[in-house]
Amino acid sequence: MKFIVSSTALSSHLQAISRVINSKNALPILDCFLFELEDGTLSVTVSDSETTMVTTVEVNGDTNGRFAVVAKTLLDALKEIPEQPLTFDINPDNYEITVQYQNGKYSLMGQNADEFPQSATLGDNAVRVEMAAEVLLGGINRSVFATADDELRPVMNGIYFDITTEDITMVASDGHKLVRCKTLAAKGNERAAFILPKKPATLLKNLLPKEQGTVTVEFDERNAVFMLEKYRMVCRLIEGRYPNYNSVIPQNNPHKVTVDRQQLVGALRRVSIFSSQASSLIKLRVQENQIVISAQDIDFSTSAEETQVCQYAGAAMSIGFKSTFLIDILNNISADEVIIELADPSRAGVIIPVEQEENEDLLMLLMPMMLND
């Protein structure tokens, strides 16, 4: 079995899919890339038994065949080779691999490809939706940070895709913060939903910036398949019922504060240095056209206070938030200004961009912390 391939093309595809591989695998074969050559197209597969990703590269080769090779060795070797043709020669009897390049060659041992586990297949009742790559990327980018790491409530450990015939809403929450990103630029043919785990969501987040065009998603109760131009990902979904996210979003919030997002982030970063390390509690006091950000650490007798200009005309009120969560939320909004909607110090604050992206309705929510005074 012999084929010739561009070193940079192969290396970039292998780098992209190698993130699927776990550092520790129960099956040694899962440390490998699975190479399959058919009619001049090389397919490379990786898996961690729950998520499988396949990429295709065009090569020059007239024989078909398949073999597995340890991923780390091949990746590290290809990193050092500048752009040039590589000739792979595989002995089908003992899986010895010779890689020839301009001034030398590598020799390494492959493995039997038959040991590699097959990826899951979807049932006959699979649902299919299509959306532009940038729409899917936008939803994942804005929501993946809010997913949980909760062994007791696994449904919270992923992004919930709520699909209707009018729109698609992506939701993530860890119980303290919640992101709801609704897009009108994509919709389904029927009402459907699935929960995408954090790892495959992060893999898509890394792949989608290079993608143009449409992503096709097919899913049933257990698995989902994402089809991109050069990549195909099959992943196990999180099974279970996602909580009713709309019910936790406060509807009547009389206190509305409009503030410059980046100035507020800067103030929060400076003031939070002086907050209690245990709680990261930061206090926001809103009064006419100004917001006072303060924090203190009683144990070390440190405190800080900063005043920022804002648009606010209601009665004065104070509310406490965990500073790291609030900074996370503000960093995942792209608008220059945000509106912080508040009802009272015991109810969640709702944060929305002043200017929404086209065909998008983005809302973020943060639970308050109790103030001592």
Closest to 296 (Cα-Cα) out of 279, 316, 308: 279
Which pLDDT score is estimated for 314?
87
pLDDT band per the 50, 70, 90 thresholds, residue 351:
very high
**pLDDT tens per residue across span 47-93:** 998 999 999 998 998 788 899 999 999 999 998 899 999 999 999 88
In angstroms, the CA 46 to CA 44 distance is 7
Judge whether residue 36 has pLDDT over 80: yes
State whether 89 and 31 are in the same domain: yes
Q: Is residue 371 part of a domain?
A: no
Q: Is residue 373 part of a domain?
A: no
In angstroms, the CA 192 to CA 149 distance is 25
State whether 356 and 286 are in the same domain: yes
Bridge partners, 197 (sequence order): 158
If residue 6 lies in a helix (H) or strand (E), which one and from where to where?
strand 2-6
What percent of the chain has a predicted confidence (pLDDT) above 70? 99
| Tally of domains within the chain | 3
State whether 111 and 144 are in the same domain: no
What mean pLDDT do residues 247-259 have? 92
Average pLDDT, the chain: 93
What mean pLDDT do residues 278-303 have? 93
Structure tokens at 237: 């979904």
Q: Is residue 197 part of a domain?
A: yes
Asked if residue 96 lies in contact with residue 2, where contact means CB atoms within 8 angstroms, the answer is no
Structure tokens at 198: 């954090």
Asked if residue 67 lies in contact with residue 97, where contact means CB atoms within 8 angstroms, the answer is yes
State whether 39 and 139 are in the same domain: no
What mean pLDDT do residues 277-298 have? 94
CA quadruple 346, 336, 251, 168: dihedral sign: negative
What mean pLDDT do residues 227-235 have? 93
The helix/strand/coil state of 364 is strand
Which of 247, 269, 286 marks a domain boundary? 247
Which pLDDT score is estimated for 339?
96
Please tell me what DSSP assigns to residue 209: G
> Domain limits at 223?
127-247
Structure tokens at 215: 């992503």
In angstroms, the CA 207 to CA 7 distance is 19
Which of 115, 142, 170 marks a domain boundary? 115
Judge whether residue 373 has pLDDT over 60: no
Residue 20: CATH number of its domain: 3.10.150.10
What mean pLDDT do residues 104-108 have? 92
State whether 259 and 335 are in the same domain: yes
**pLDDT tens per residue across span 108-162:** 999 998 989 888 888 888 999 999 999 999 999 999 999 999 888 999 999 999 9
